[in-house]
């Protein structure tokens, strides 16, 4: 296939140079977007009189035929083509002759690939957001079923205060909700400026209508600086950053699932659909899917680093280094979407062992804060209440007792302010129910959190 840049040179490249230069293996997935951009460009060329109406109609019909044939499988993308833009234009020219050669008037591959990539990533954003909503939905479903399941909340991986399993899961729901916001914000900026019409870097001498193509392709406006338009890859970096944060959240939840499903915790049991066994130890049920999500997080971080390092030393305007943008950002989306697709059903199918959670909550003196609060409500200064409670905990730990095991007489030996009502105050159920401050663990707050998250998934 003849290179688009044949003329200044013969277009002949060394075999390995040609392989290094080629991007068809990566950008062929953008064929729909490339054809959509070309159709809009052809319509604009005809409307502005740069080509005739008949030529514009022929180009649009020819492009539509190529799209139909690619979708049906009647036409296969030639792997020997330099890129998807070269392939489509060559196929169009083969079908239309000299008319096909007019498509590239007032356009460069620099602005063409910039618009193709934005249009393609818009679709990736929408697919990813839908998958995130599926995970949030699964978290809400399990949380609804476990609103009363008390478990120890942790700080420093040490038992801290009692919460519910619902409260814990919904914390991840809130993280994922922010991930949706980040992706949608980045998408809005990406689709705010259409680069088509910037040409190679300086614009064109033809009387094009950039507002027309921007509107036709779903952009809010056209880019105001042609050099920026062809060299901007901020949107790739921003999207990879948002995906990196998303993967970090999935990785943190993966770590919890791995811990919770271990024999040391046994808070949950993952379905056999999302675990594997050992090749040598027949008793094993490994949380491999969660571990792989945790591992693939590093891969998305690598994609982000690739983009940042690739861009950091580039002068304006377009440089061939930028061809590496698509492989990185496409991989980041592919990886995140795969992990999300596994995560939603994995969460939905897991078995929750509420009894084991409650048993764990009964240890570790996680109601000590409530005992100190009890004293403070009786008029003891909180710092003095804190110190006295710490002494009681130390004595109980030495004696192998829980706070609930001490008699009222034993409590009064520490302070006369203790009364029989203290036992209700330090019960785990009461400890959770009393956390009524906004966002706390109390049932009313859980209901509000569920309503908020379901509002996001229902959008």
CATH number for the domain spanning 77: value is 1.10.275.10
Give the pLDDT of residue 6: 56
Give the separation between CA 205 and CA 275, rounded to whole angstroms: 61
Give the pLDDT of residue 8: 53
Q: Considering only CA atoms, which of 133, 229, 242, 111 is closest in space to residue 186?
A: 242
Catalytic residue among 9, 72, 156, 437: 156
**With contact defined as beta carbons under 8 Å apart, do 250 and 297 qualify?**
yes
Range 454-459 average pLDDT: 91
Q: Specify whether 206 is catalytic.
A: no
Q: Specify whether 156 is catalytic.
A: yes
131: helix, strand or coil: helix
Catalytic residue among 278, 279, 287, 427: 278
For a pLDDT cut of 90, what percent of the chain falls above it? Answer: 91
**With contact defined as beta carbons under 8 Å apart, do 222 and 40 qualify?**
no
Query: 440: left (phi > 0), else alpha (psi -120 to 50), else beta?
Result: beta
Residue that wins the pLDDT comparison between 12 and 203: 203
Q: Is residue 334 in a domain?
A: yes
Q: Quick one: 89 and 119 in the same domain? A: no
**With contact defined as beta carbons under 8 Å apart, do 118 and 149 qualify?**
no
Q: Is residue 3 in a domain?
A: no
Give the pLDDT of residue 119: 98
* pLDDT higher than threshold 90 for residue 2: no
Q: What does the mean pLDDT of the chain come to?
A: 94
Q: pLDDT tens digits, residue range 45-78? A: 999 999 999 999 999 999 999 999 999 999 999 9
What is the pTM (predicted TM-score) of this model? 0.93
Q: How far is CA 300 from CA 23, 106, 341, 383, 452, in A?
A: 21, 37, 16, 46, 29
Q: pLDDT tens digits, residue range 25-34? A: 999 999 999 9
Give the pLDDT of residue 11: 58
* pLDDT higher than threshold 80 for residue 436: yes
State the DSSP H helix or E strand holding residue 150, giving kind and residue range, or none if neither: strand 150-155
Give the separation between CA 267 and CA 297, rounded to whole angstroms: 24
* pLDDT higher than threshold 80 for residue 15: no
* Residue that terminates a domain, selected from 332, 359, 386: 359
Give, in degrees to the nearest 5, the angle at Cα 129 between 219 and 339: 135
Q: Quick one: 205 and 138 in the same domain? A: yes
Q: Is residue 4 in a domain?
A: no
Range of the domain at 306: 110-359
The DSSP bridge pattern shows strands 268-269 and 158-164 to be unpaired
Written as six digits, the tokens of 213 are 């193509």
Q: Is the dihedral of CA 158, 161, 166, 168 positive or negative?
A: negative
* Residue that terminates a domain, selected from 337, 359, 381: 359
Q: Quick one: 280 and 196 in the same domain? A: yes
Q: Quick one: 135 and 166 in the same domain? A: yes
Q: Quick one: 114 and 101 in the same domain? A: no
> Domain with 423 in it: what CATH number?
1.10.40.30
Q: Quick one: 242 and 377 in the same domain? A: no
Q: Is residue 7 in a domain?
A: no
Q: Quick one: 66 and 176 in the same domain? A: no
Q: Quick one: 84 and 151 in the same domain? A: no
Q: pLDDT tens digits, residue range 104-150? A: 999 999 999 999 999 999 999 999 999 999 999 999 999 999 999 99
Burial class (CB in 10 A: 0-12, 13-18, 19+), 118: buried
Give the pLDDT of residue 172: 98
Q: Considering only CA atoms, which of 316, 342, 303, 340 is closest in space to residue 26?
A: 303
Question: In the structure, what pLDDT confidence band is assigned to residue 284 with cuts at 50, 70 and 90?
Answer: confident
Give the pLDDT of residue 18: 72
Range 300-312 average pLDDT: 98
Question: In the structure, what pLDDT confidence band is assigned to residue 378 with cuts at 50, 70 and 90?
Answer: very high
Give the pLDDT of residue 5: 42
Q: Quick one: 406 and 428 in the same domain? A: yes
Q: What is the DSSP string of 210-244?
A: HHHHHHHTT-SSB-S-HHHHHH--HHHHHHHHHHH
Q: Is residue 9 in a domain?
A: no
For a pLDDT cut of 70, what percent of the chain falls above it? Answer: 97
Q: Quick one: 98 and 142 in the same domain? A: no
Q: Quick one: 355 and 377 in the same domain? A: no
* pLDDT higher than threshold 60 for residue 9: no
Residue 94, C-beta contacts closer than 8 angstroms, at least 6 positions apart: 100
Question: In the structure, what pLDDT confidence band is assigned to residue 446 with cuts at 50, 70 and 90?
Answer: very high
* Total domains, the chain: 3
* Residue that terminates a domain, selected from 105, 134, 165: 105
> Domain with 273 in it: what CATH number?
1.20.200.10
Give the pLDDT of residue 406: 95
Q: Quick one: 352 and 379 in the same domain? A: no
Q: What is the DSSP string of 408-443?
A: HHHHHHH-TT--TTHHHHTSHHHHHHT--STTSSSH
Q: Is residue 5 in a domain?
A: no
Q: pLDDT tens digits, residue range 340-372? A: 999 999 999 999 999 999 999 998 999 999 999
Q: Is residue 10 in a domain?
A: no
Q: Is residue 304 in a domain?
A: yes
């Amino acid at each position: 296939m003849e290179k688009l840049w044949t003329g200044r040179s013969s277009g002949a490249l060394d075999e390995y140079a040609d392989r290094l230069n080629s991007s068809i293996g990566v950008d062929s997935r953008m064929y729909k977007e490339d054809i959509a951009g070309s159709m809009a460009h052809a319509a604009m060329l005809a409307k502005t009189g740069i080509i005739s109406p008949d030529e514009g109609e022929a180009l649009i019909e020819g492009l539509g035929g190529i799209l139909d044939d690619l979708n049906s499988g009647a036409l296969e993308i030639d792997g020997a083509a330099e890129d998807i833009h070269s392939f489509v234009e060559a196929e169009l020219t083969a079908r239309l002759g000299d008319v096909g050669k007019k498509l590239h008037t007032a356009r460069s591959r620099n602005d063409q690939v910039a618009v193709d990539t934005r249009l393609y990533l818009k679709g990736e954003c929408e697919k990813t957001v839908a998958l995130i909503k599926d995970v949030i939905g699964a978290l809400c479903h399990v949380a609804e079923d476990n609103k009363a399941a008390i478990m120890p909340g942790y700080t420093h991986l040490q038992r801290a205060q009692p919460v519910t399993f619902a409260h814990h899961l919904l914390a991840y729901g809130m993280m994922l909700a922010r991930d949706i916001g980040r992706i949608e914000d980045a998408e809005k900026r990406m689709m705010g400026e259409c680069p088509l019409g910037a040409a190679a870097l300086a614009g064109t001498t033809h009387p094009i209508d950039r507002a027309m193509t921007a509107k036709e392709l779903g952009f809010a406006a056209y880019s105001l600086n042609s050099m920026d338009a062809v060299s901007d890859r901020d949107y790739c970096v921003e999207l990879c950053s948002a995906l990196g944060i998303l993967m970090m959240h999935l990785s943190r939840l993966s770590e919890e699932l791995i811990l919770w499903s271990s024999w040391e915790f046994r808070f949950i049991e993952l379905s056999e659909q999302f675990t594997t066994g050992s090749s040598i130890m027949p008793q094993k049920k490994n949380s491999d899917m969660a571990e792989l999500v945790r591992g693939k997080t590093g891969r998305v971080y690598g994609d982000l680093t690739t983009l940042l390092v690739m861009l950091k030393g580039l002068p304006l305007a377009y440089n061939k280094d930028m061809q590496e943008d698509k492989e990185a950002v496409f991989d980041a989306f592919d990886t995140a979407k795969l992990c999300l697709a596994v995560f939603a059903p994995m969460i939905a199918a897991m078995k929750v062992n509420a009894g084991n959670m409650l048993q764990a909550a009964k240890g570790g003196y996680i109601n000590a804060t409530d005992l100190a609060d009890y004293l403070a409500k009786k008029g003891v200064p909180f710092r003095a209440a804190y110190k006295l409670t710490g002494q009681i905990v130390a004595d109980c730990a030495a004696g192998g007792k829980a706070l609930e095991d001490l008699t009222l007489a034993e409590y009064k030996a520490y302070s006369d302010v203790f009364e029989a009502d203290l036992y209700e105050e330090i019960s785990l159920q009461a400890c959770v129910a009393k956390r009524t401050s906004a966002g706390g663990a109390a049932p009313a707050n859980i209901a509000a959190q569920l309503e908020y998250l379901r509002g996001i998934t229902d959008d």
